[in-house]
Chain A
């Protein structure tokens, strides 16, 4: 008999640090470290993948991995407080225990993206896995594998931007072109104002040899895709990450499908060309 493996067993992780990201305190980033060395070694992930976080007694929920695999020793998740489990997570402090299952799902198509320019477009908390991708690409050993890196990142207000210190660091660098935009400015804001699709229209990046990676709230995605189409991005080079209600995360519980594809198993990362072959049910 094959040794029975239980794919639902979470590994314990310790909360090392909690950072309040946004002025309304609705998004916090959790730095987690594995308790067991062997779990840490087994958890090999790439940008775009997600994991199931457990708060025991409350359940599990899927979250994109916000850290980059080039950062060793810890995993980061940025969690928006929205319901039962996320509320419980938000009450956690340094030293508390959570469970993790993963990494799950597909990553951004890094191999296909190699040698190409990258246009990263993000908004809201969906920026988490894009941040993982950006830090991965900016890593010394990886930077040469990719061409020009352009980032367009938007939030409702300046106070709702994630990773503020890190964004400052990106601004200083000359190996990426970084655009931040807010829907509504406040007194101190000197940057761009306007929604993400408008910003992309203004910046008018070239589609030549370029991959566009888009993650954001549904409205942002809906209005950004036509802009990319006008800029002549072929659907094969537009990459999206989807969210669905998930439970098992491994293609068994039957709830996250779009057509015959399970978002947890075959996604969450899809190209627009792949999505267009599926029924419009998401």
Chain B
């Protein structure tokens, strides 16, 4: 696959090229908050950032989306489906953890017996350009959950900041096509590949404190009734921030907006941390308190995901660690489960 070197100040050449005939989405500074937005010029793009507050999953799985509009007139029902926006798009500068989250969401929305066509159409319209993490933040733990700061899963192209220049490597055919005809850059040489390896080793070394998700899974399989759950949720205020900001969380609600004659049905982010999430119409609730809801959140990512898909449902982005208002740190929770596992042995 093609790999090229771009001098630092030449990145705008690449971005300009990507903007030709395509829509470009990239990290921008939105009043102090990092976010993925459509950009019209290379100057808007910020690449020396840690990660966005809201994960880029919302480009494929929007916070709120119309499933269809309905109109009823007598015996006639008219359903109007949203038309997927046409044209090629590039999602630029995604961190490897988030790029990997797309592959997990794919399993949910397109990997089973049913396939969400709208999600799939959006996914396929994008080429994903990952940005390697040369300086992981303190809350990151991607290497514990099967990822890595230079991992390529979910990316079509990987960009690495080598200090003086950028190494731009195609990962998939789709990525290679993006780099085709790109001029004004050098082909990568051995020295740049060596510098990339050094940067990768340094980044991985910075991500200390490995957690064994295999031990965690095994322990979770046998600690349903453990007193551990009684205390764990006590601080949690059930705000749902940890799930809304999580790149792998996929829960949603479906609601109608409008009258009996016309309106729309929407799909909208929801959270397992909310009491109404599982409340039956009869009043019965299988997860009545924070205890059951925290257990569900942890079990879902670290036991049910591996059981169902053979992969942990967390990419270690650290957003839930950074943004939990009561500092409930999922890494600490995992370490606690891990040490319970060790105690038994």
Residues of A within 8 A of B (CB): 1-10, 12, 14, 35, 54-61, 82-83, 86, 95, 97, 99, 218, 243-245, 247-248, 250-260, 265, 279-282
Residue-wise, chain B 298-313 has the 8 Å CB interface mask toward A (1 for contact) of 0110011101100000
**Bound complex: CA of A2 vs CA of B116, how far in Å?**
11
Q: In the complex, which residue of chain A has the Cβ closest to the Cβ of B67?
A: A8
Q: Which of B28-36, B51-59, B169-177, B271-279 contacts A (4 or more CB under 8 A)?
A: B271-279
**Bound complex: CA of A99 vs CA of B256, how far in Å?**
13
Q: A86-B281, A281-B292 are in contact. List 7 more A-B contacts (CB 8 A).
A: A4-B84, A6-B116, A60-B254, A97-B77, A245-B278, A257-B296, A259-B304
Question: What are 28 A-B contacts with C-beta separation under 8 Å?
Answer: A4-B84, A4-B118, A5-B115, A9-B68, A9-B81, A56-B261, A57-B259, A57-B263, A58-B256, A82-B282, A83-B281, A99-B77, A245-B277, A245-B278, A250-B114, A252-B116, A252-B250, A254-B270, A255-B251, A256-B278, A257-B300, A258-B286, A259-B299, A259-B304, A259-B307, A260-B305, A265-B113, A281-B286
In the complex, are the beta carbons of B114 and A252 less than 8 A apart?
yes
User: Chain A contacts of B68 at CB under 8 A?
Assistant: 6, 8-9
In the complex, are the beta carbons of B250 and A254 less than 8 A apart?
yes
Number of interface residues of B (CB under 8 A): 56
Q: Is the interface of B mostly helix, strand, loop or mixed?
A: mixed
In the complex, are the beta carbons of B117 and A7 less than 8 A apart?
yes
In the complex, are the beta carbons of A251 and B112 less than 8 A apart?
yes
In the complex, are the beta carbons of A57 and B258 less than 8 A apart?
yes
**Given A8-B67, A8-B68, A97-B75, A218-B284 contact (CB < 8 Å):** yes
**Bound complex: CA of A6 vs CA of B252, how far in Å?**
16
In the complex, are the beta carbons of B254 and A247 less than 8 A apart?
yes
User: Chain B contacts of A256 at CB under 8 A?
Assistant: 278
**Bound complex: CA of A259 vs CA of B302, how far in Å?**
11
In the complex, are the beta carbons of A244 and B286 less than 8 A apart?
yes
Residues of B within 8 A of A (CB): 67-68, 70, 72, 75, 77, 79, 81, 84, 108-109, 112-118, 120-121, 124, 224, 250-256, 258-261, 263, 265, 267, 270, 272, 277-282, 284, 286-287, 292, 296, 299-300, 303-305, 307-308
User: Chain B contacts of A82 at CB under 8 A?
Assistant: 281-282
In the complex, are the beta carbons of A1 and B121 less than 8 A apart?
yes
Given B112, B253, B279, B292, which contacts A250 in the complex, CB threshold below 8 Å?
Answer: B112
Given B115, B254, B259, which contacts A59 in the complex, CB threshold below 8 Å?
Answer: B254
User: Chain A contacts of B278 at CB under 8 A?
Assistant: 244-245, 255-256
**Bound complex: CA of A252 vs CA of B67, how far in Å?**
14
User: Chain B contacts of A7 at CB under 8 A?
Assistant: 114-117
In the complex, are the beta carbons of B256 and A244 less than 8 A apart?
no
User: Chain A CB within 10 Å — which of B68, B77, B256, B272 has the most?
Assistant: B77
User: Chain B contacts of A5 at CB under 8 A?
Assistant: 115, 117
